[in-house]
Amino acid sequence: MKNVLNDFDKAFENRIRLGVMSALVVNDFVDFNTLKELLSVTDGNLASHLKSLEKSNYIIYEKKFLERKANTSYSATELGRKAFIKHLQAIEQLIKQL
């Protein structure tokens, strides 16, 4: 069991970061407002979790304007996808051992 726990990634221990990565791994990109609605969080709360994932190089963002409104979209990096899948596999292994 100890080996399985070594594959857990601290970046995904929070439900919001787990939710962000879940959304980004199955979509090419997701905009800020969609993530905010999906996860039922405030702007500031989401922004801080996104910043944490950015620092880990697990996500990237792109800013553009849509009809004069700023729009920020996020996507998972290849590193982020691999880390998230490894984390999920560790959870599955832990569950199988119980």
Rounded to whole angstroms, the Cα distance separating 13 from 76 reads 17
pLDDT tens-place string over residues 48-86: 999 999 999 999 999 999 888 889 999 999 999 999 999
State whether residue 18 is helix, strand or coil. helix
Of 16, 2, 13, give the one whose Cα is nearest residue 83. Answer: 13
pTM of the model: 0.90
Helix-, strand-, coil-residue percentages of the chain, each rounded to 5: 60, 20, 20
| DSSP string covering 41-76 | --HHHHHHHHHHHHHTTSEEEEEEEETTEEEEEEEE
